[in-house]
């Protein structure tokens, strides 16, 4: 049996027109690239539950207004196939600051402008954004 694709939930955490990114440490997928907080969907979890759990586990931040935005199907190599559920959220309390809770997995968290992304950006995320995808809500 071939391995099953992995399912990841990634969160565009938005604050003051900026997005939270962290540079991944060694990993079989996306090592050394800047990526969103997020991770593997656990059995029985909703996308929103996974987003809140992963953001808390990786940054210590509590989030709200969690919404699903987009799904991408990424065949990265013969051995890496990930389905990524992109969510967006905001901080429950805007005075919170991100902590690097898993320093073995991430170099640290910082806020970046959409038009000034940190490089190298995680490949599937860069492709999504360069394709014109905008995670910010449209003003009425
Ligand atoms: P964990 O669950 O360790 O946070 O996983 P991740 O951050 O490596 O994300 C896995 C899915 C991604 C690569 C789409
Ligand atoms: Mg993760």
Could you give the domains of the chain?
6-130 (3.90.79.10)
Which residues surround ligand 1 with Cβ inside 6 Å?
6, 8, 27, 29-30, 38-40, 54, 82, 84
Tell me the pTM.
0.96
pLDDT tens, residue by residue, 39-98: 999 999 999 999 999 999 999 999 999 999 999 999 999 989 999 999 999 999 999 999
**Residue owning the nearest CA to atom 8 of ligand 1:** 39
Test site for ligand 1: of 38, 73, 75, most ligand atoms within 8 A of the Cβ:
38
Whose CA is closest to 65, among 90, 45, 48? Answer: 90
Does the pLDDT at position 24 exceed 70?
yes
Residue 47 in contact with residue 63, Cβ under 8 Å?
no
- Calculate how far, in angstroms, residue 27's C-alpha sits from the geometric centre of ligand 1: 9
């Amino acid at each position: 049996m071939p391995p099953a694709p992995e399912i990841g939930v990634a969160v565009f955490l938005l604050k003051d027109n900026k997005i939270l990114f962290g540079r991944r440490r060694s990993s079989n997928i996306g090592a050394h690239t800047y990526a969103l907080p997020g991770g593997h969907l656990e059995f029985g979890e909703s996308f929103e539950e996974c987003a809140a759990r992963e953001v808390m586990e990786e940054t210590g931040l509590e989030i709200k207004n969690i919404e699903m935005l987009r799904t991408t199907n990424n065949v990265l190599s013969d051995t890496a196939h990930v389905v990524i559920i992109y969510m967006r959220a905001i901080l429950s309390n805007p005075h919170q600051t991100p902590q690097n809770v898993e320093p073995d997995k991430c170099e640290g968290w910082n806020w970046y402008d959409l038009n000034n992304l940190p490089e190298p950006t995680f490949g599937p995320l860069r492709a999504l954004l360069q394709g014109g995808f905008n995670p910010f809500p449209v003003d009425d």
